[in-house]
Structure 1
Amino acid sequence: MDDVTAQKIGGQVKWFDPVKGFGFVVADSGGPDILLHANVLRNFGQSSVADGAKVELLAQETQRGVQAVEVLSINVPESETAAPLSDFEELDAPDIANLPLEPARVKWFDKGKGFGFANVFGREDDVFVHVEVLRRQGLAELQPGEALAIRVIEGQRGYMAAQVCSWEASYGDKS
């Protein structure tokens, strides 16, 4: 693609559907919606993005309209309605950040139910993954078999993810 014509644009995710393989971003400066294809998002290291997330991207005009060609950053959407999970009430962000990142694969995830499970390398028990944990990282959904890096706590009913990162995002982490 011709990066010379790509423009840096800030905006907000209108919606993204990983099953359909695309979604749209509304530019802060207005104008037509910007198509965000799943491949562009995967190049950033994510398979989904939460509705309302703030993004910075490179976009260009095509024959089909304005399309994102590269995602530069994603910031978690601000949610005033999200209730904290009771398992995390005693933990704060530094406590979670001090947990080791562990390699995992998504076993299954049901966005409608709001949860799923992951298999962590070296652990016999599945790890519960709640949609609210995904939202805190700017993710909307997970796909079966997707590689992740997660921080795990022992919750009231067993192991659960306290933080979920894309596998690619974990490379720079030295935990």
Structure 2
Amino acid sequence: MLTGTVKWFNNPKGYGFIQAQEGTENQDVLIHYSVIEMDGFKTLKAGQTVSFDVGQGPKGLIATKVLPDNGQGAKVDNTEVLEKDSSLA
């Protein structure tokens, strides 16, 4: 597995990019939420360290398996969303 840092990850769209520390010849690696191995809501945050396997996609490198540095991924604070949605109930 390679290691790298999440450049950015878009939660609503479910994808982002990793900047690898080695092994990808300075190419960014596409991440799709479906390859993140963790329980619950699969997300990452910018600057987070990850381990990953990489493959060749139609437009460049893609992650085939991603393990967040802490095994749990980024914590998501849904408090603001819940407060806004409670007015709909």
CA pair 142-38 structure 1, distance change in 2 beyond 3 A: farther
CA pair 50-65 structure 1, distance change in 2 beyond 3 A: same
Task: Look up the match of 1:53.
Answer: 48
Task: Look up the match of 2:20.
Answer: 27
Question: Which residues of 2 match residues 8-157 of structure 1 at below 5 A?
Answer: 8-29=1-22, 30-41=25-36, 43-45=37-39, 46-71=41-66, 73-75=67-69, 138-139=73-74, 141=76
| Rounded Cα–Cα distance in structure 1 between residues aligned with 2:28 and 2:55 | 12
| Rounded Cα–Cα distance in structure 1 between residues aligned with 2:74 and 2:56 | 26
> How far did residue 40 of structure 1 move?
1.1
SS of equivalent residue, structure 2 residue 34: helix
Q: How many residues align?
A: 74
Cα deviation 1:58-89 (Å, max 9, x = unaligned): 11112221000111x3226xxxxxxxxxxxxx
CA pair 67-139 structure 1, distance change in 2 beyond 3 A: same
Do 1:60 and 1:69's aligned partners in 2 also have CA atoms closer than 8 Å? Answer: yes
Do 2:11 and 2:43's aligned partners in 1 also have CA atoms closer than 8 Å? Answer: yes
| Rounded Cα–Cα distance in structure 1 between residues aligned with 2:18 and 2:26 | 11
SS of equivalent residue, structure 1 residue 39: helix
> How far did residue 141 of structure 1 move?
2.8
Q: TM-score, normalised by structure 2?
A: 0.69
Decide which structure has greater strand share.
1
> What is the alpha-carbon root mean square deviation over aligned residues?
2.1
Unaligned runs of 5+ in 2: 79-89
Q: TM-score, normalised by structure 1?
A: 0.38
CA pair 19-27 structure 1, distance change in 2 beyond 3 A: same
